[in-house]
Every structure is written in structure tokens, then in C-alpha cells.
Amino acid sequence: MTVTRRSLKAFVALFSLPFTWAIVFMVVPYLVMISISFWSRQFPLFVPDFQFGNFIQLFSDPQYTTVILRTLKIALLVMAGAILLGYPLAYFLVFTVTSTRWRNLLYMSVIVPLWVSYLLRAYTWKIILGTNGALNSLMVSTGLISEPLSIFLYNQASMVITLVYIFIPFMVMPLVTVLDNIPKALIEASEDLGVGPFMTFWKVIFPLSLGGLVAGATMTFCLSFGDFVAPVLVGGPDGTMVANLLQSQFGAALNWPLGSALATLVLVLVLIVLRLSSRFDRAGHVSLA
């Protein structure tokens, strides 16, 4: 119902607390961060100011542009990897697994890891890929290689693998939802008309699954773009990401205005991506369970 004078009291009683909280601890902090991104630094102090120097520095200093471009590349690779692994899995769950019980069980086993310790799921790749790690020692003991290799860990590939591993469920969830909502009659009609399975997929299933694909791609891209743990644990010297830069601006480099500008950039990028993706079918939007 619309809030009327009569219902106003009940509405205020319910809503004033969460509303105030969201304004004070969510909206205001983002605004403070955005405004500090225009401040200047006069070592060792940060001075309130309104200038675009921080943003200009981010876009012109190769030290920063390299990292931003690399992070974009990694995030796109993670997104692509998650699609390549996640789409067939989602298709399998919806169209190949016929027993409802099995499908629920398998679906559950895909999404549950998403909420299980993100730190430890990243960390385990460190013990798998390390020089003394599980993969190397397994290959040495089976005689596949004679010396442990150091090529597996601390590079961009290890970072992409780890991030794909962490974020795959975000791809599978919305895909399963949209694939499940495709009326089976459409697929049967296509088959009855003599269209082969690949053309049926391409002409019927794939277009109808785009909403889920976009939703999954958005989540994996946005979250891996700002990921904090993987670059530190499994990334190497050529793997500095935006999150590492942010960390150092608020740590050793001590330049909060520049760090805030970079964080604002991430915020704006994510908002643009979310806005673009919400133009697609809302059916694909992620529900948490």
C-alpha cells in the first residue's frame, strides 16, 4: 500500500532504523570516499580540495594504467573461463540429469562451495600449484617430470585458475535458472520440425539463456576485477592487480586520495556494468539459493 497519513506511524516505526543505518553506514561512506578522491596530498597530509589530479594520474601514469588494463584482462579471462566451464555444467544439470533428486543434489553441490570460505578456497591452490606442492610432487613421484617446476604458481595463469574456481558457482546459478525456465515444448517443437540438436541449441536454447549468461558474466567480472585475496596468495610479480594498488595506497604508499580515486573508479565501472546487464532479462538475476 502507499504510505498514507494513517499508516505513516507504522511505516516510520518499521523503516526508520534500517533507512538511517543504510544512509549513515552505506551511502555516506561511499560519498565520503568519492569526495576524498578529489583531495590532494601534501605529504604527509591529505588536504580537502577539488581537483582531478588523482584521476589524471591514474589514466596517464603507466604504473597505474598497466595495472588497470591487466586487471581488466584478468577479469575478462576469468569471465570467459567461468562461461566455458559453467555453461556446459548448467546445461547438463537442466537437460541431461532427469531425476529431480539428483539434479537438486548436484545443483546444491555446485552452489554450496560459493559460500564456503573464500580465503581457504584460494589458499588451497597455493598448496596445489607450489614448487613443493601437490601437483609437482605428484608429477615427480609418478615420473612425469624429474624436477619440480616453478611455472605453476605466482603468475597470471594461476590467478585466473584460482578466480575461475572461486566464482564458477556465480555463473552456474543464473544459467540453471534461465535454462530451467525455457518451456520444454519449444525444444520439442524444434526437434519435431527436424532441427538437429546443435541448431536447436543455437536457435532456441542459447538466445533464451542470454539473461542468465549476462547475469553470471557480470558477477564473475565485477567480483574478480576487485579481488583482493588471489593476487596476494597466488599472483606473481607480473600479477599486481587493482586490489594490490589499493592496498598499498592505504598502506605503505600512504596516499588515501589517490587510493580513493582508484576505488571510485572501480565503483563507477561496476555500476556501469550492472546498469548495462540489468537491461537484459531480469529472469537471470542471481537469487542466493
All three cell numbers of 240? 599486481
Stretch 156-185 residues interacting with another protein (CB under 8 A): 165, 168-169
Least separation, in Å, of the C-beta of 144 and another protein? 12
Residue with cell 591452490: 125
Q: Is residue 266 at the binding interface for another protein, with CB under 8 A as the rule? A: yes
Strand partners for 47: 40
| Residue 95: burial class (beta carbons within 10 Å; 0-12, 13-18, 19+) | middle
Q: Is residue 138 at the binding interface for another protein, with CB under 8 A as the rule? A: yes
All three cell numbers of 287? 537469487
Residue with cell 532479462: 281
Q: Are 117 and 165 in contact (CB under 8 A)?
A: no
Least separation, in Å, of the C-beta of 85 and another protein? 5
* Residue of 5, 6, 25, 62 that binds another protein (CB under 8 A): 25
Least separation, in Å, of the C-beta of 232 and another protein? 7
Least separation, in Å, of the C-beta of 117 and another protein? 5
Interatomic CA distance for residues 234 and 152, integer angstroms: 10
45 three-state secondary structure = strand
Stretch 91-130 residues interacting with another protein (CB under 8 A): 91-93, 96, 98, 106, 108-113, 115-121, 123-128, 130
Least separation, in Å, of the C-beta of 26 and another protein? 5
Q: Is residue 226 at the binding interface for another protein, with CB under 8 A as the rule? A: yes
Shorter beta-carbon distance to another protein: residue 71 or 156: 71
Q: Is residue 213 at the binding interface for another protein, with CB under 8 A as the rule? A: no
60-68, 90-98, 183-191, 206-214 -> range binding another protein (CB under 8 A) = 90-98
146 three-state secondary structure = coil
Q: Is residue 32 at the binding interface for another protein, with CB under 8 A as the rule? A: yes
61-69, 180-188, 206-214, 241-249 -> range binding another protein (CB under 8 A) = 241-249
Total residues in contact with another protein, by rule CB under 8 A:
89
* Residue of 58, 153, 163, 243 that binds another protein (CB under 8 A): 243
Q: Is residue 150 at the binding interface for another protein, with CB under 8 A as the rule? A: no
At residue 244's C-alpha, the angle toward residues 242 and 246, to 5°, is 70
Exposed e or buried b per residue across 219-249, where buried means at least 16 C-beta atoms within 10 angstroms of its C-beta? bbbbbbbbbbbbbebbbeeebbbbbbbbbeb
Interatomic CA distance for residues 166 and 156, integer angstroms: 15
Q: Name the strand (E) or helix (H) holding 42.
A: strand 40-42
20-28, 56-64, 151-159, 175-183 -> range binding another protein (CB under 8 A) = 20-28
